[in-house]
Structure 1
């Protein structure tokens, strides 16, 4: 489910133990929870999310430091999306209206606009494959039937029930190559993710990334939310594509 670009996202391993669980146990209930959550997410026609995240970064001397971010996402299926990431007093945003997308950096005042595919899933693929851009919260759109097998989940555990910020959730733990992750899913008819903790096992410093989700499923969303209006002084710049992966001479 989760893809990482080492240059951008650095995560930590949290050691989990379950007295009754083997090292590579796959609990069908834990896998079923992912399918149930994914099916519910795909059924949503529109939603808003505010997410607080904390990400570890490894310095050149091996010391681990933590950075905090706040992400906001507004989506209307199948072809409207607005995402912003705030950190250190600056905001980076994406606006997608079904025909084009615009990236804007508030600190520099630069923005770039490009033609876009006709749905959110295709947009996420284009951003990743053509420009090397991974949007915050993008994995919420990617979970589908068979994804657990595709990403190589080797362990799936049901940890137990917990209450997070007054919401009854069920806690699960998963393992795939080089990555451990924990997921808390809301109980009841709306199985939304409440919290996510991702841990990297391929780094000696064991960096970690965590996200707490705050959902809003009701309320009208104006079409203007997905349109970018350049503020005064903003400047248009070209968006650089990744270099083709050709053979080395």
Structure 2
């Protein structure tokens, strides 16, 4: 027992030292900025890619308990205006297809789908869809015309946490802070700076819910066949409209 206590005390001391160092270096750490620029530049250079997201999304119940929901999403994206995402998980079975100025969303559980008129660029289209459908969008910064500018918008602090590992792959762990959200990003330390994991904590919502995403099987391509971004509602599907959503739902008082 004493041995455990001593080890815990040492670990606590080291943790306090590291936290103190991070706070002392508050601002934009040059190493973190350099790694972020390299990753963002790589994502910006891609004409098209596919990737699989494995995500955990916190939901905060009325009693204050956080409950984890797990999802898996297969994504195909092609700049400047095409995206297909097929999501399955604890509370979702949906297909999202963006092609030019139209985003169609099909919910396999209710057999309902919506078609939205959206701006003709990935970033703007997804931002509008997130607002109208109350979606979460951990991929949106990587799809921006300027991923670095998108990720650094309103960032007050960015620090290099240290080396880490995701799925057996060495990576760099970064932490970024805004007034309303905290981010952590794990970037592949190999030849290609792929984002491997992203964590987002929403400090404006009750319980500070978190989204944790691991990106698997990145595949850059020159483009996809047109049918990849075609959507035909299945037999029995019913088109519906999007109900207005209160902007402050779920926010902290």
Cα distance in 1 for partners of 2:29, 2:246 equals 42
Q: 1:31 to 1:238 in 2, by over 3 A?
A: same
Which residue of 1 is the match for residue 226 of structure 2? 223
Kindly state the Cα deviation for residue 54 of structure 1 after the two structures are TM-superposed.
Answer: 1.1
Matches within 5 A, 1:205-216: 205-216=207-218
Which residue of 2 is the match for residue 232 of structure 1? 235
Q: 1:236 to 1:47 in 2, by over 3 A?
A: same
Q: Secondary structure in 2 aligned to 1:182?
A: strand
Structure of higher RCO (CA pairs closer than 8 Å, 6+ residues apart): 1
Matched, 1:193 2:224: no
Which residue of 1 is the match for residue 48 of structure 2? 46
Cα distance in 2 for partners of 1:22, 1:130 equals 38
Which residue of 1 is the match for residue 57 of structure 2? 55
Which residue of 2 is the match for residue 175 of structure 1? 177
Higher Cα radius of gyration: 2
Q: 1:206 to 1:121 in 2, by over 3 A?
A: closer
Q: 1:165 to 1:75 in 2, by over 3 A?
A: same
Kindly state the Cα deviation for residue 101 of structure 1 after the two structures are TM-superposed.
Answer: 2.0
Cα distance in 2 for partners of 1:154, 1:206 equals 19
Which residue of 2 is the match for residue 85 of structure 1? 87
Matched, 1:22 2:30: no
Q: 1:202 to 1:136 in 2, by over 3 A?
A: closer
Cα distance in 1 for partners of 2:138, 2:28 equals 28
Q: 1:127 to 1:201 in 2, by over 3 A?
A: closer
Kindly state the Cα deviation for residue 139 of structure 1 after the two structures are TM-superposed.
Answer: 2.8
Quick check: 1:94–1:103 contact (8 Å CA) kept in 2? yes
Query: TM-score, with normalisation over the residues of structure 2?
Result: 0.78
Which residue of 2 is the match for residue 124 of structure 1? 126
Quick check: 2:141–2:151 contact (8 Å CA) kept in 1? no
Kindly state the Cα deviation for residue 95 of structure 1 after the two structures are TM-superposed.
Answer: 0.8
Kindly state the Cα deviation for residue 108 of structure 1 after the two structures are TM-superposed.
Answer: 0.8
Structure 2 unaligned spans of 5+: 1-14, 248-253
State the number of aligned residues.
Answer: 230
| Deviations, residues 82-117 of structure 1 (Å, cap 9, x unaligned) | 113222374122112224221111011111223443
Quick check: 2:46–2:220 contact (8 Å CA) kept in 1? no
Query: TM-score, with normalisation over the residues of structure 1?
Result: 0.79
Q: 1:94 to 1:237 in 2, by over 3 A?
A: same
Q: Which has the higher helix share?
A: 2
Bigger Cα displacement from structure 2, 41-50 vs 205-214: 205-214
Which residue of 1 is the match for residue 5 of structure 2? none
Structure 1 unaligned spans of 5+: 1-14, 245-249
Q: Secondary structure in 2 aligned to 1:22?
A: helix
Quick check: 2:59–2:66 contact (8 Å CA) kept in 1? yes
